[in-house]
Amino acid sequence: MRDAFFRALTQIGAADDRVWALTGDLGVGLFEPFEAVAPGRYLNVGIAEQTLVGVAAGLAYAGKVPFAYSIAPFITSRPHDQVRVDVACAEANVKLVGVGSGVSYGTLGPTHHAIDDLALMRVLPGMTVIAAGDPAEAGRAVRAAAAHDGPVYLRLGKNNEPALLPADAPFAIGRALELRSGGDVTIAATGTALREATAAADLLAADGIAATLLHFGTVKPFDAAALVTAAARTGAVVTVEEHSVVAGFGSAAAEALAEAGVGAVLRRVGFPDTFAHAVGSRDHLVGHYGASAGAVAATVRDLLEPRPACATT
């Protein structure tokens, strides 16, 4: 996803002289192609993320389209006051790009894990929150973010994510994609968790359980209509995210279902309400904290298992 982002950003920068690229001393060599086509429009502000966001906001006030790039918690949590005041409150046309979604930086520990960024960003009024599902969608999302007038948070993985979406899959802000249609359960995923959701759907299909698989490339605005339609058909929903189950994608789904009054049961799969202090790769941590494909499939099976009728007297 990271490489797809830089390819798309370079193409956009070559075509639009309003586009700037900024970083907080991260991915320096990766910006060289952008510098070649957009001389003078690349800034490395150093290890100063609050300054990074402030400079990006200033460029936006001057009519530019800045992309501010850093590790996900360093562009959302560390400078959150600047994001809130200088970007969101001002409705500035800033594109915040967080690389290393979820536990992509597994061995570097909780300081580098992004398990609260969706919650932090989606609560901000006017903030669009995008979580790409595979590298090709990351490229499409960059173009959509550049065309969107307003603040955007773009969440990217960095661990050689596989191609999961059809090559011709569309991307539109606020629209989910139905990748499979089944009548037994709805599996709704966002971002890099699409990998686990897809594998879980395969495991369930082998057991004769047909899942509707929805991918939400946008967390905010949330495509409530797509989820409600699928939930009304299946009666059961499992959300999957590489993020805390508190206030993230699963919470957005719960809000949508509750407000729509759909009679569907819901289970959320993600990271529990704890920092991920275990040490290991992204895949190890996803498994360790109960967000693997097997855990998703087990959650679906438990949800669909018939419950014994209550005894009457």
Looking at the fold, whether 17 and 141 belong to one and the same domain comes out as yes
- Look at residue 191 and tell me whether its pLDDT is greater than 80: yes
Looking at the fold, whether 152 and 181 belong to one and the same domain comes out as no
Looking at the fold, whether 114 and 189 belong to one and the same domain comes out as no
Looking at the fold, whether 14 and 80 belong to one and the same domain comes out as yes
- Look at residue 312 and tell me whether its pLDDT is greater than 60: no
Q: What is the mean pLDDT of the chain?
A: 96
Looking at the fold, whether 195 and 113 belong to one and the same domain comes out as no
> Which of 246, 188, 183, 254 minimizes the C-alpha distance to 217?
188
Does residue 310 belong to any structural domain of this protein? no
Kindly report the CA angle at 4 between 38 and 54, in degrees rounded to 5? Answer: 55
Does residue 34 belong to any structural domain of this protein? yes
- Please say whether the beta carbons of 203 and 238 come within 8 A: no
Looking at the fold, whether 182 and 143 belong to one and the same domain comes out as no
Looking at the fold, whether 16 and 144 belong to one and the same domain comes out as yes
Does residue 76 belong to any structural domain of this protein? yes
The pTM of this model reads 0.97
pLDDT band at residue 311, thresholds of 50, 70 and 90? very low
Which CATH number goes with the domain that contains 15? 3.40.50.970
Looking at the fold, whether 148 and 232 belong to one and the same domain comes out as no
Alpha-carbon span 251 to 120, nearest angstrom: 13
Looking at the fold, whether 48 and 145 belong to one and the same domain comes out as yes
Is the sign of the CA dihedral 88, 71, 23, 192 positive or negative?
negative
Fill in the DSSP letter of residue 88: I
Of 156, 185, 209, which one is at a domain's C-terminal end? 156
- Please say whether the beta carbons of 50 and 63 come within 8 A: no
Tell me the residue range of the domain where 206 lies.
Answer: 177-304
Give Cα separations from 145 to 13, 151, 195, 237, 265 (angstroms): 13, 9, 23, 29, 34
* Helix/strand/coil percentages in the chain, nearest 5: 45, 20, 35
Alpha-carbon span 9 to 195, nearest angstrom: 24
Tokens encoding 138: 């990351």
Q: What percent of the chain has pLDDT over 70?
A: 98
Looking at the fold, whether 196 and 227 belong to one and the same domain comes out as yes
Does residue 166 belong to any structural domain of this protein? no
- Look at residue 181 and tell me whether its pLDDT is greater than 80: yes
Per-residue pLDDT tens digits for 100-145: 999 999 999 999 999 999 999 999 999 999 999 999 999 999 999 9
The whole-number pLDDT of residue 306 equals 82
Looking at the fold, whether 152 and 189 belong to one and the same domain comes out as no
- Please say whether the beta carbons of 209 and 303 come within 8 A: no
List the beta strands (DSSP E) in the chain. Answer: 19-23, 42-44, 65-71, 95-99, 128-131, 152-156, 177-180, 185-190, 211-216, 218-220, 236-244, 265-271
Per-residue pLDDT tens digits for 37-66: 999 999 999 999 999 999 999 999 999 999
Tokens encoding 115: 């398990």
Does residue 230 belong to any structural domain of this protein? yes
Looking at the fold, whether 152 and 191 belong to one and the same domain comes out as no
**DSSP-derived pairing of the beta strands 218-220 and 128-131:** antiparallel
Fill in the DSSP letter of residue 86: I
Which CATH number goes with the domain that contains 293? 3.40.50.920
What mean pLDDT comes out for the span 146-160?
95
Alpha-carbon span 59 to 53, nearest angstrom: 10
List the beta strands (DSSP E) in 72-220. Answer: 95-99, 128-131, 152-156, 177-180, 185-190, 211-216, 218-220
Alpha-carbon span 139 to 12, nearest angstrom: 10
Does residue 152 belong to any structural domain of this protein? yes
Domain count, the chain: 2
**DSSP-derived pairing of the beta strands 211-216 and 177-180:** antiparallel
How are strands ordered across the β-sheet holding 265-271?
Answer: 177-180, 211-216, 185-190, 236-244, 265-271
Does residue 233 belong to any structural domain of this protein? yes
Least confident of 29-38, 146-155, 252-261, 298-307: 298-307
**What is the number of alpha carbons within 13 Å of residue 41 lying toward its C-beta?**
24
